Amino acid sequence: MKSIAELNQIKKDALARISGNNGFRVMVGMATCGIAAGAKPVFNTLAEEIKQRELSNVDLTITGCIGSCRLEPLVEVIDPLGRRVTYAKVDPQKAARIVAEHIVNGRICLDYTIGAALSAPN
């Protein structure tokens, strides 16, 4: 890195990719807590579904701990309009449905959202 201009160029490119205007961003909490709760198979299922459906507009990525341990594995989906949905206690089966329903059909899986997880009886 020789100059701030160079840094700013990387910033611009990365921002364009992250909040690109016609794609989904899907983040799986993969810190120790998420992985212990089963985030790896969830990530793999998401990757598999995205590949099988040949979805080119999805940026699937790992991320760190968001803090809600008891709701892990957590998956966040940010749609092309920047709307954020957090899915809680996701397993591979739920992950497959999130791709099919939310990303392909644009319908949020209401019953998997964090709100549903919090209001469900323990």
Partner 1 sequence: MNIYRAHILVCNGEKCNSQNAQAIYDEFKTQIKKNKLEEELTVVQTGCIDQCSQGPVVIIYPSGVIYTMVRIEDVTEIVTEHIIRGNVVNRLLGGENINLDSVIKSLDQVDFFKRQVRIALRNCGVINPESIEEYIAYDGYQALAKVLTGMTPEQVIEVVKESGLRGRGGAGFPTGVKWEFTARAKGDQKYVCCNADEGDPGAFMDRSILEGDPHSVIEAMTIAGFAVDSNQGYIYVRAEYPIAVKRLNIAIAQAKEHGLLGKDIFGTGFNFDLEIRLGAGAFVCGEETALMTSIEGKRGEPRPRPPFPAVKGLWQKPTLLNNVESYANIPAIILKGAQWFSSIGSEKSKGTKVFAVGGKIQNTGLVEIPIGTTLREVVYEIGGGIPNGKEFKAAQIGGPSGGCIPASHVDVAIDYNSLVQLGAMMGSGGLIIMDEDTCMVDLAKFFLEFTADESCGKCPPCRIGTKRMLEILQRITDGKGTAEDIDKLEILAKNIRVSALCGLGQSAPNPILSTLRYFRNEYMAHIQDKKCLAGVCKSLMQYVINAEACRSCGICSRVCPAGCIKGEKNVPYVIDQTKCIKCGACMEKCPFKAIYKNA
Residues that bind partner 1 (CB under 8 A): 1-4, 7, 10-11, 13-15, 17-18, 27, 29, 31-33, 35, 61-70, 74, 76, 84-86, 92-93, 96-97, 100-101, 105, 107-111, 113-122
Beta carbon of residue 13, minimum distance to partner 1 (angstroms, whole number)? 7
Beta carbon of residue 17, minimum distance to partner 1 (angstroms, whole number)? 8
Nearer to partner 1, 4 or 81 (CB): 4
> What H or E segment, with its residue span, contains residue 61?
strand 58-63
Residues with Cβ within 8 Å of 24's Cβ and at least 6 positions away in sequence, in order, are: 57, 58, 59, 77, 78, 79, 80, 103
> What H or E segment, with its residue span, contains residue 87?
strand 84-87
Nearer to partner 1, 3 or 56 (CB): 3
77 Ramachandran zone, left/alpha/beta (phi>0; psi -120 to 50):
beta
Beta carbon of residue 39, minimum distance to partner 1 (angstroms, whole number)? 11
